[in-house]
Amino acid sequence: MRSLLAALAALVLPCVAVVPVHAQELAAGATVTVANMAFAPAKVRVGMGESVTWSFQDAVSHTATSDEGFFDTGAASGGASRSIRFASAGTFAYHCTFHSVMVGKVTVPMAATGSVKDGWKLRWLVGDNPKGRTYDVQQRRTGTKTWSLFRNRTTAGSGRFDPGSGSWQVRARTIKKERASGWSPTLNLS
């Protein structure tokens, strides 16, 4: 019986070791198909540090070019792929430089760990800060309309938020040479 279990374990364990890695690869990032003069899906959401891959299927060249100068895939066609990594939170609108009707968006939410009681560690950037980039972070009590400043043009990638009580919302954006991304999706802290 014991040897049977060992044999089964030997069979099962390699699968167990492989499956999580595979699942992680599938979960991380997003793919946008560029075909028939359109980005599909036009809006994708990735976590900080994940990549978006554009697969350029048309015979004619297209680009995925950030509206605010954050990234540019350059021209590609005929099945070529280009990947861009998104290290920080925001909403990044982009277009094709050749065809102005082709537009899309990448949304990158910020992250939080902690609790109301212990306070929150907020993160809006993973890894080192790329040169020349700063971040705005805002907070508001859930149910209120007006956002308040939490960080203004900071070069830090994270910070502590200790509201003490209540339910809060936060959001962040990335700035490069005074050109700002849109705000990240609202993150609920409760």
Residues that bind Cu ion (CB under 5 A): 62, 96, 98-99, 102
Q: How open is the CA angle 122-127-132, to the nearest 5 degrees?
A: 95
The torsion region of residue 134 among left (phi > 0), alpha (psi -120 to 50) and beta comes to beta
Q: Which is nearer to Cu ion, 63 or 174 (CB)?
A: 63
Give min distance, CB of 96 to Cu ion, in A: 3
Q: Which is nearer to Cu ion, 57 or 169 (CB)?
A: 57
| Residues whose CB falls within 8 Å of the CB of residue 186, separated by 6 or more in sequence, listed in order | 169, 170, 171
Give min distance, CB of 115 to Cu ion, in A: 47
Q: Which is nearer to Cu ion, 97 or 169 (CB)?
A: 97
Dist. CA 139–CA 151, nearest whole Å: 9
Q: Which is nearer to Cu ion, 50 or 72 (CB)?
A: 72
**3-state class (DSSP) for residue 140:** strand
Q: Which is nearer to Cu ion, 39 or 135 (CB)?
A: 39
Dist. CA 127–CA 111, nearest whole Å: 14
Dist. CA 129–CA 126, nearest whole Å: 8
Give min distance, CB of 102 to Cu ion, in A: 5
Give min distance, CB of 61 to Cu ion, in A: 7
Give min distance, CB of 41 to Cu ion, in A: 16
